[in-house]
């Protein structure tokens, strides 16, 4: 049974990148650690409610976060979120200096 951690109102399964790539955690709340491989792309979305979306890869897993965290290529991060179709929709990103949380 995978270890679980609680952050906010959700419980997350602690997993490895290999667990995610195997596909068995699809649709589940997960948390994993890794290094940001590329420069995060921060997009401004000016629709009805202005917001930001940040995308980046951690050890081959594409991560999408609703917000603009202060992160860069080479940072070690712990990412919390729901794993869907090969991508992680992040609800929180933890670095050495901060925890960035998306509004629920």
Check: pTM over 0.85? Answer yes or no.
yes
Q: What is the pLDDT of residue 22?
A: 87
Instruction: Using pLDDT thresholds of 50, 70 and 90, give the confidence band for residue 104.
Output: low
Reply yes or no on whether the pLDDT at 103 is more than 80. no
**30-60 residue pLDDT tens:** 999 999 999 999 999 888 777 899 999 999 9
Q: What is the pLDDT of residue 8?
A: 86
Distance CA 45, CA 61 (A): 23
Distance CA 14, CA 67 (A): 23
Two tokens at 62?
Answer: 């594409």
């Amino acid at each position: 049974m995978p270890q679980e951690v609680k952050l906010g109102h959700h419980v997350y399964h602690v997993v490895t990148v290999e667990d995610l790539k195997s596909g068995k955690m699809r649709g589940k709340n997960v948390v994993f650690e890794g290094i940001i491989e590329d420069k995060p792309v921060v997009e401004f979305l000016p629709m009805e409610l202005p917001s930001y979306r940040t995308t980046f890869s951690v050890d081959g897993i594409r991560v999408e976060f609703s917000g603009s965290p202060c992160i860069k290529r080479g940072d070690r991060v712990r990412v919390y979120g729901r794993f869907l179709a090969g991508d992680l929709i992040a609800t929180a990103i933890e670095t050495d200096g901060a925890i960035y949380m998306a509004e629920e």
